[in-house]
Structures are given as structure tokens and as C-alpha cells.
Amino acid sequence: MAFRPVEIASAALVALLLTLSADAAEAALRVVASMPDVADMTRQIGGERVSVETIALGSQDPHKVPVKPSFVTKLNRADVLVVQGLGLEHAFLPALLEVASNPKILPTGAAYIDASIYIQPLEVPTSQNRSQGELHPLGNPHFNLDPVQGKLMARAIAEGLARVDPAGASRYQAGLDRYTALLDGKIAEWEKLAAPLRGVKAVSYHQDLVYLAKRFGIEMVGTLETKPGVPATPGHLEELVDTMKREQVKLVIREVAYELPLAQTVAQRTGARVATISTLAGGLPGTQTYVDSIEANLEALLQAVQEGSAS
């Protein structure tokens, strides 16, 4: 049976497309990201050259991520591991890496990408006295809440991807350039949007808002936790309420991973408003990306401040 030239050309085209698809699938780096923010940044920068899975969920407390057997499988098969860094993952990642048996994604490996390498950390403890609570030896690791720090995170991720996949270096640089331009535009918008937050006094549940507060001019007065990672005691709450009344604090910032009733009780006793934000992308509805998350947090804070001013 003879084939016509058109049929031969069509068959060749199909074969070529299948080959290209297979090559693309093979070229995609299997990336495991510890946190949703670095996962989204990796996708934005890497495009089709990366396939990204995430360990922590946006609604979870990053200090208490439950360990699952499926995480070990992901890490064992990973070509790359991207972490937020500064010890944020210390409660779950070291044990997972030990079991996963994948040397290239260990902290000493080339495929371990630390998004914190260009960050100038705040609140670096001068001692490791456990009586001070759950301190992070390298400094406060919640720098992702400041979008200017987000640009530094993106740079570290792009450089790490290029190190692991030199053939895609130009693509990663182009992805970084696009993402940085996006963040630059949004940061200019956010600075104007957040102007009413400057000088506002607030308390949070956990000591995780230092970078956000510094960027947007919020004055943090205290935390609902007695100390970092240490649950509130009645005595501490009484002192906090007294301080809030004295300092006229009208904003209680409740991170979505922490209980709402306690924040509401403190707000009711002090005439404050509660703003619910997330320390990770995806923690609030409709915030699957890093940009969405920053914007939703600012809108929540502004709404609470405006409601407080109107009452």
C-alpha cells in the first residue's frame, strides 16, 4: 500500500510534535518547594522548564507543618529543592531530607536553592536562651511579607535554577526580569495603597510581621503569644490589654493559621478591630500567587483600619 506525500508529511509532523513534547517533559525540572511563596516564584520564573510541587499549605503554620510519607517520595524524586530559608523549615524539613536519601538537594548540594541568601535578616537573637521562646538563630524568617524582599527571593531562585540547569539560564533570567518588573509595578501601587497604615499601632498573634510592619510603617506593640511559639497566659493577656488601652492600639492582626476567638476577645476588650491576614500565599481565598497574597493582606489591614476609624 502506497502512502501519499501529504500523509507522509502529516505523519512526520505528528512524530516531530510528539518528540518535542517528550523532550519538553524530560527537560522540566522536578522542583519541590517548601513554602507556597517560593513555589509560585519558581513557577513564575521557570515557566515550562519547571514542574513544581509544594510541601506546606498557605493556611498552615509554617512552624508546625505535619510530616507526611508522601513528602519523602517527592523529595526523593526531586531535581531541585527550593526553601524560604533562615530556618523557617527547621521543624519538618531536616527529618524529611534525612529519610529522602537525595544528596543533591541537601543544604550542601548544588540543587538546594535557599531564597534567603540576599536577605538582611531582622531580629537576629543575641543569645539562644530557650526561655525567650522559639527563637530563630538566623533571624526572623518571615521576610516574604515584604515585597521588596520578595525581589531578592526571586533573584536567589533564578540564580539557583540556572546553576542546576545551565541550558535554561537565559530563560530563567528572562523570567526573573519579567517577574521583577511585575513586582516593581505592584510595589509602587502598594506603597500608595498602604499609606493609611503608616503610624498605625497594632498587635499580632505571632512575632512574624516585622518585615511587613517596617515596609508599610505599622508600629507593632506586642503579640498575643506570651513569647514566640509560647501560648498566651492569662497574666500576659491582661498586660497586653492594659498596654493596648494605654497606647490606644486599635488593630489586632490575626494570622490565618492561628485561632480567631482569642484575637476577637482581645479586640472586644480594647475597642480594636481584627484583620485576618496570611503569612503564606494561598492562606486567604483567591490568593494562590505571591502577588495576590500581598495585596489581599494589605486590603484586609486597610479595611480593619478604616472600620476602626469610622466607629
Q: Is the pTM of this model over 0.95?
A: no
- Looking at residue 8, its pLDDT comes to 45
Asked if the 5-119+128-190 domain carries CATH number 3.30.2320.50, the reply is no
CA-based nearest residue to 283, from 36, 4, 94, 48: 36
Residues 6+ apart with CB under 8 A from 299: none
Confidence category of residue 25, pLDDT binned at 50, 70, 90: very low
Residue 9 has pLDDT above 50, yes or no: no
Q: What angle do CA 275, 149, 58 make, to 5 degrees?
A: 45
Amino acid found at 202: A
Quickly tell me which residue has 510541587 as its cell.
53
Q: Read out DSSP for 209-275?
A: -HHHHHHHT-EEEEESSSBTTB---HHHHHHHHHHHHHHT--EEEEETTS-HHHHHHHHHHHT-EEE
Query: Residue 37: in which H helix or E strand, if any?
Result: helix 36-46
Residue 208 has pLDDT above 50, yes or no: yes
Beta bridge partners of 112: 81
Eight-class DSSP state of 53? E
How would you list the strands of the sheet with 50-54, edge to edge? 50-54, 29-33, 80-83, 112-114
Residue 114 has pLDDT above 60, yes or no: yes
Residues 6+ apart with CB under 8 A from 218: 197, 198, 200, 201, 202, 209, 212, 251, 301
The Cβ of residue 248 has, within 10 Å, a number of other Cβ atoms equal to 11
Please measure the distance between the N-terminal and C-terminal CA atoms of the chain and give it in whole angstroms: 86
Answer yes or no: are the C-beta atoms of 280 and 35 closer than 8 Å.
yes
Confidence category of residue 27, pLDDT binned at 50, 70, 90: low
Instruction: Encode pLDDT of 53-67 as tens digits.
Output: 999 999 999 999 999
Mean pLDDT of all residues in 101-121: 97
Residue 90 dihedral angles phi and psi, to the nearest 5°:
-60, -25
What is 194-310's CATH topology?
A: Rossmann fold (3.40.50)
Mean pLDDT for the chain overall? 91
Mean pLDDT of all residues in 14-22: 44
Mean pLDDT of all residues in 268-276: 98
- Looking at residue 126, its pLDDT comes to 83
Residue 121 has pLDDT above 70, yes or no: yes
- Looking at residue 219, its pLDDT comes to 98
Instruction: Encode pLDDT of 76-93 as tens digits.
Output: 999 999 999 999 999 999
Alpha-carbon dihedral angle through residues 81, 63, 90, 87, given to the nearest 10 degrees: 80
Residue 129 has pLDDT above 70, yes or no: no
Residue 190 has pLDDT above 80, yes or no: yes
Residues 6+ apart with CB under 8 A from 184: 151
Answer yes or no: are the C-beta atoms of 182 and 199 closer than 8 Å.
no
Residue 116 dihedral angles phi and psi, to the nearest 5°:
-95, 5
Mean pLDDT of all residues in 292-299: 98
Alpha-carbon dihedral angle through residues 140, 141, 145, 146, given to the nearest 10 degrees: 70
Residue 252 has pLDDT above 80, yes or no: yes
Residue 3 has pLDDT above 80, yes or no: no
- Looking at residue 15, its pLDDT comes to 46
**Where does the chain hold its CATH 3.40.50.1980 domain(s)?**
5-119+128-190, 194-310
- Looking at residue 45, its pLDDT comes to 98
- Looking at residue 135, its pLDDT comes to 72
Q: Higher model confidence: residue 133 or residue 258? A: 258
Mean pLDDT of all residues in 188-199: 98
Residues 6+ apart with CB under 8 A from 152: 118, 119
CA-based nearest residue to 138, from 101, 190, 90: 90
pLDDT > 90: percent of the chain: 86
